[in-house]
Amino acid sequence: MKAVVITRLGGPEVLEAGDVPEPTPGPGEELVRVEAGGVNFADTMAASGGYPGTPKPPLVAGREFSGTRVSSGERVMGYTQWGAFAESVAARSALLWPVPMGWSAPEGAAFPVNFFTAYFAYWKAGLLEDSKGARVLIHAAAGGVGTAAVQIGKLLGAEMYGTSSSDEKLSRVQKLGLQHPINYKKQDYEVAIRDLTNGEGVDVVFEMLGGEHVLKSVRCLRDFGRVIVYGTATGQRAVLDVGSLYAKGASVHGLWLTYISQKQELMRQAWQQLSAWAAQGHLRPVIEAVLPMEKAADAYRLLLERKNFGKVVLKI
Ligand SMILES: NC(=O)c1ccc[n+]([C@@H]2O[C@H](COP(=O)([O-])OP(=O)(O)OC[C@H]3O[C@@H](n4cnc5c(N)ncnc54)[C@H](OP(=O)(O)O)[C@@H]3O)[C@@H](O)[C@H]2O)c1
């Protein structure tokens, strides 16, 4: 079968579309014929050797997909750690979900990572039950997870502040429901948050940059606020002085979908809510570009050069 192979560790140039043997499903797995694969920031990290738990190359790339369940012909979307950018994937049955009615294959492939991660960010923030008026700062609001977080925040009634490097991206996120755009190229986001909240700060920050931004995000909090840490897009280890948490009774929480996806009951509850919102037409993945699998390297470059708004998808 055809697949996008990480041939060695490196940048997008290490990806090659080639022939590999069809996978054999293990216990708890089944075969899915793949139609589309969602490209994630994590895929760029897996290719360069920076994603924990990824086997050594050669390895089939891709962690989310949509396609057809071989056993039943049902249209499904699914989550895995690698192997999704191929004509067939051996996927865990527990991590396959029906594609919502009316969604295209690329939309299905763009759903799992972004929407489960964004959902669990609100869960970790304690905002799923009561978030009316809660202030949430969403870093990279125009990215894959960011656009999902804005859609969910709108449903929950949150007051959202979102950062991006581009006014154009920010105006598109505003159309999704973001109330307070912050262009961090033009203004320090910590200063912007202080100005926009009368010096009070926000209840929650969704933080995926790493480095100095963890501490900076703590400084954006008001009393008893939480920073949900879920990425290191800068490539720098988080800087955190635990003492900075005392003053406001603040806390920092980690979130990793790779780990949470093994918790079946949590995933079931999340899907129950996400699928209901999707069926009501409240959620829809935002897709910037759909490229053929042979152009996987270009797709990775779009992410690395921060040119994507929402998601980039590969047609398999
Ligand atoms: N923990 C988890 O389970 C989990 C799950 C999914 C994603 N993540 C993490 O969440 C982050 C976003 O993922 P995604 O798939 O939504 O990515 P994405 O769509 O590519 O969004 C990344 C965006 O981050 C912004 N950014 C700011 N500083 C950056 C920097 N130094 N390098 C690269 N990007 C920078 C850019 O937007 P602007 O130009 O608009 O600022 C960029 O477009 C990544 O760090 C990813 O690893 C974690």
CB 204 within 8 A of CB 134: yes
How confident is residue 129, by pLDDT bands cut at 50, 70 and 90? confident
The CA 308 to ligand 1 mean position distance, Å, reads: 10
- Asked whether residue 280 carries a pLDDT value surpassing 90, the answer given is yes
pLDDT on residue 194: 98
pLDDT tens for each residue of 175-184: 999 999 999 9
Question: Domain residue spans in the chain?
Answer: 2-111+285-315, 115-258
| Whole-number Å distance between alpha carbons of 17 and 59 | 11
CB 160 within 8 A of CB 153: yes
pLDDT on residue 132: 85
The CA 306 to ligand 1 mean position distance, Å, reads: 9
Please report, in angstroms and rounded to a whole number, the separation of the first and last CA atoms in the chain. Answer: 11
- Asked whether residue 49 carries a pLDDT value surpassing 90, the answer given is yes
Helix axes 144-156, 112-124, angle to 10 degrees: 50
- Asked: is 2-111+285-315 a CATH 3.90.180.10 domain? The reply is yes
Mean pLDDT throughout 245-261?
A: 96
The CA 234 to ligand 1 mean position distance, Å, reads: 9
| Whole-number Å distance between alpha carbons of 78 and 11 | 25
pLDDT tens for each residue of 10-23: 999 999 999 999 99
How confident is residue 291, by pLDDT bands cut at 50, 70 and 90? very high
Residue type, 125: A
In total, the chain counts a number of residues equal to: 316
Atom of ligand 1 nearest to the CA of 255: 1
Q: 115-258 has which fold?
A: Rossmann fold (3.40.50)
**Helical ranges in the chain per DSSP H:** 41-48, 105-109, 112-124, 144-156, 167-176, 189-196, 213-219, 243-246, 257-260, 264-279, 296-304
Mean pLDDT throughout 221-248?
A: 94
CB 313 within 8 A of CB 289: yes
By most ligand atoms within 8 Å of CB, the mutation choice from 41, 79, 80 for ligand 1 is 41
| Whole-number Å distance between alpha carbons of 52 and 272 | 29
What DSSP designation does 203 have? Answer: E
- Asked whether residue 247 carries a pLDDT value surpassing 90, the answer given is no
Q: Which residues pair with 271 in a beta bridge?
A: none
pLDDT on residue 37: 98
